[in-house]
Structure 1
Amino acid sequence: MLGHCADDLVVYHPGLQYSGGCVCGDCSDNAGSPPHESIRRKAQRNAGGNRARTGSRQVLRWVHVIDLEDNQMSKVASPALGTTQVRALDFTRQVAIVVGASMFVALCARITLPLPFTPVPLTLQNFGVLLVGLMLGSRRGFAVLALYLAEGAAGLPVFNPTGPGGIAQLMGPTGGFLMVYPLVAGLAGWIMEHGQKSFARAAVAGLLADLVLFAGGLSWLAILTHSLAQAVRLGFYWFIFAEVIKVMAAAAVAVRLRRAPRVQS
């Protein structure tokens, strides 16, 4: 005999004493269910448990995959973040070095001895320019003195105190010396970079850079005085001995500082 229970087919066996059972296993009337119905319900429960365990394992696999992806992203992001931080710190350090070196040149410019027979004073400024170039190299040396000129042109008290300061000092008798300072430091640094860091090389670099210094300074003086002989008399003869001493001193200090052991941080 056939019957229906909750839209499921129910089979009645005439030879057994039970009132019927439902295939779905959800009916409350299970007392008279045949043995195969109990087996069927148990199989359904086992199937449900298997599906739950399979789902749990799938979720665990998904979590594991997501965790691996996060780890890979962290490994990729960490070096990039570290590289960015290192670059930022290095840039900050380089800026601090350039600014500090420009202040050092400004301090050297304060040590000035005016001479009554020439508008060009005797100053330690040239020593500072040469030392910066020999120590920091061509690019940073050029940057330091370019910044120094910008500071002076802006009106900061970085030039020697015998002049009017600012743009007026750049246009005055010492303007030619000032305007070639970046080239002087850059040349000294470039020569020092391409060879052994010895006193002889540093001295040669300083002497060649000083030639550029006097070429620029005397050319500007010649324009102002309309006489090359007058420019040489005012801006060269009185400074030869002092410049040789400054070149040798800058070379000795630069080599000594370069060879000094650095403190490991």
Structure 2
Amino acid sequence: MSALTSAATPRPGAVLADLLPASSAARARVRDVALVVGGAALTGTAAQLSVPIPGSPVPVTGQTFAALLVGAGLGASRGFLALALYAVAGMAGVPWFADASAGAGMPSLGYVFGMMLAAAAVGALARRGGDRGALRTAGTMAVGMAVTYAIGVPYLALATGMSAGEAVAAGLVPFLVGDAVKAALAMGALPAAWKLAGRRG
């Protein structure tokens, strides 16, 4: 079986990015670097889809959805590195946080840190088949969102002086409906991508 054929055939323990062919170790490294940079850029682009929430310093954006898709598509290590690049570049001044912002002083920065860990968690679950069926994908996305909030909400409270209840009210509750929509989108997109890969394989 050729390298191209084996790379294009879904197998246990694989994530979608593993289906991209690489004929040598050097080309695989180049591929992985490109995927990491692309994952960071996708997250930064999605972050510009931003809707402010009255009474909350945290807007609804597309970055969480992008971060979880990056984790599922790239796997734990590459997903984590993509979100780490996104975080470090944004803190260094690249204006690709929500609303073209940058820097390290935002009260919503905890969500970015949470997305780094969420991408790793989602990627690990994806390697165990967590993105190959609708219900499993919903569970995988729920884990990723929970990890994001577990870091983001306490950070919001510390950064703003809110109480725990106020931080939950401002930084969690307004986003639950949107998160359900994102999970539903992922339930369709990721299993469909695997089915398409299977047909091409």
TM-score bracket, shorter-length normalisation? 0.7 to 0.9
Q: CA deviation at 1:223?
A: 1.4
Counterparts in 2 of 1:231 and 1:193: CA distance versus 1, 3 Å: same
SS at match of 1:141: helix
Matches within 5 A, 1:95-244: 95-161=33-99, 163=101, 165-168=102-105, 172-195=106-129, 197-224=132-159, 225-244=161-180
Answer yes or no: is the 8 Å Cα contact 2:90–2:103 preserved in 1: yes
Answer yes or no: is the 8 Å Cα contact 1:137–1:188 preserved in 2: yes
SS at match of 1:180: helix
Deviations 1:92-140 (A, max 9, x none): 1111111111111111001001123211101111110111111111111
Which letter does structure 2 place at the counterpart of 1:138?
Answer: A
Answer yes or no: is the 8 Å Cα contact 1:134–1:251 preserved in 2: no
Which letter does structure 1 place at the counterpart of 2:31?
Answer: R
Counterparts in 2 of 1:261 and 1:212: CA distance versus 1, 3 Å: closer
Which letter does structure 1 place at the counterpart of 2:103?
Answer: G
Which letter does structure 2 place at the counterpart of 1:236?
Answer: L
Q: CA deviation at 1:241?
A: 0.5
Higher relative contact order (CA 8 A, sep 6+): 2
For the aligned residue pairs, the C-alpha RMSD in angstroms reads: 2.0
Which letter does structure 1 place at the counterpart of 2:39?
Answer: A
**1:246 alignment partner, one of 182, 194, 197:** 182
Structure 2: any 5+ residue segments left out of the alignment? 1-22
Q: Structure 2-normalised TM-score?
A: 0.81
| Larger-gyration structure (1/2) | 1
Answer yes or no: is the 8 Å Cα contact 2:76–2:123 preserved in 1: yes
Structure 1: any 5+ residue segments left out of the alignment? 1-84
- Hey, what's the Cα distance between the residues in 2 that align with 1:121 and 1:255? 29
Counterparts in 2 of 1:215 and 1:154: CA distance versus 1, 3 Å: same
Q: Which aligned segments of 4 or more residues in structure 1 are displaced greater than 4 angstroms?
A: none
- Hey, what's the Cα distance between the residues in 1 that align with 2:187 and 2:118? 14
SS at match of 2:107: coil
- Hey, what's the Cα distance between the residues in 2 that align with 1:117 and 1:155? 26
Segment drifting more, 177-186 vs 223-232? 223-232
Which letter does structure 1 place at the counterpart of 2:34?
Answer: A
Aligned partner of 2:15 in structure 1 is none
Provide the aligned length of Structure 1 versus Structure 2. 177
Aligned partner of 1:259 in structure 2 is 195
Counterparts in 2 of 1:263 and 1:94: CA distance versus 1, 3 Å: farther
Which letter does structure 1 place at the counterpart of 2:184?
Answer: M
Q: Structure 1-normalised TM-score?
A: 0.62
